[in-house]
Amino acid sequence: MSKVIAITGANRGLGLEFVKQYSQDSNVTVIAYQRSDDRSAIEALKKDNVKIIKLDAADDEQVKKAVEETKKITKSIDILINNAAINTGPFKLTEPQDLSPISKVHDTNVLGPIRVTTSFLPLLREGKDKKVIFISSGVASLTRTVKKSFGPMAPYAMSKTGLNMVVALYSVELSDEGFTCLAFDPGHVQTDMGGGHAPLTPPESIKNMIAKISSVSPEVNGKFFAVKGDPGSTKMEEEDW
Ligand SMILES: NC(=O)c1ccc[n+]([C@@H]2O[C@H](COP(=O)([O-])OP(=O)(O)OC[C@H]3O[C@@H](n4cnc5c(N)ncnc54)[C@H](OP(=O)(O)O)[C@@H]3O)[C@@H](O)[C@H]2O)c1
């Protein structure tokens, strides 16, 4: 059966790997949303079932335009993956400094997925799967934070905890319509954001996430799942909020 899968931040890193793996299936149409004007990474895949649309998740007008462009391609979206995000780097709350990175990261990582998800809801409501995946992070976990599991990245960590609340709220607001809204921690992965020494490769992380996305149903709506940092691991487990 054909499916339409929409992915934000699709031009590099985990987003590009989602596009690569999903587009292997000729029954899938992948809509690859990217902020950049440089289409070369996705065009290099040479896949007729991948459509590129410009979308900056931090720009209301661009998100609206992206919805209109999408409607020219499809009447429905089955799976939306809110993947686009930024991390402005190390930041300790105890060190006096400019607080603007907190609002900048919040605008992209928390408000971005809200702009995108709510704007695309009419298309998602027409979809068969009604799955909305939010790429969160282990650093979102309050439980793991107080166990000192992570270095200081306050803007990013706060944004991903905020994102998890967004997931919980969408899961409640959309539960009567049969949606499955989930937060995923992809594990620590070798991308520009994750760095070259991360234990997981993008193909490993994305393989696990795609397997999870295809197996979930509304019974797990509103949960947080993680790809654990063991490259041999092939399944995602429930994560501490
Ligand atoms: N890699 C890890 O270890 C790791 C761990 C936990 C969670 N994550 C999460 O996994 C997701 C993907 O991360 P990644 O490692 O692939 O990061 P990445 O290599 O830095 O790629 C980030 C992607 O997001 C896009 N993006 C950033 N701001 C955007 C905006 N305002 N609008 C649209 N696109 C925007 C970037 O586009 P441009 O090319 O235009 O900048 C790029 O395509 C993120 O949500 C990240 O927080 C990653």
Q: What residue spans define the domains of the chain?
A: 3-238
Q: What is the pLDDT of residue 232?
A: 60
pLDDT digits (tens, 9 = 90+) for 46-73: 999 999 999 999 999 999 999 999 999 9
**Model-level pTM?**
0.97
Q: Is the pLDDT of residue 87 over 90?
A: yes
Burial of 219 (0-12, 13-18, 19+ CB in 10 A): exposed
Dihedral angle sign, alpha carbons of residues 135, 139, 144, 146? negative
The correct CATH number of 3-238 out of 3.20.20.100, 1.10.3720.10, 3.40.50.720, 2.60.120.560 is: 3.40.50.720
Task: List, in sequence order, every residue forming a beta bridge with 189; answer none if it has no partner.
Answer: 200
205 Cα: distance to centroid of ligand 1 (angstroms): 14
pLDDT digits (tens, 9 = 90+) for 202-212: 999 999 999 99
Dihedral (C-alpha) 109, 229, 207, 218: value to the nearest 10 degrees?
-60
Ligand 1 pocket, CB under 6 A: 8-9, 11-15, 35-36, 55-58, 83-86, 108, 112, 135, 137, 185-186, 188-189, 191-194, 198
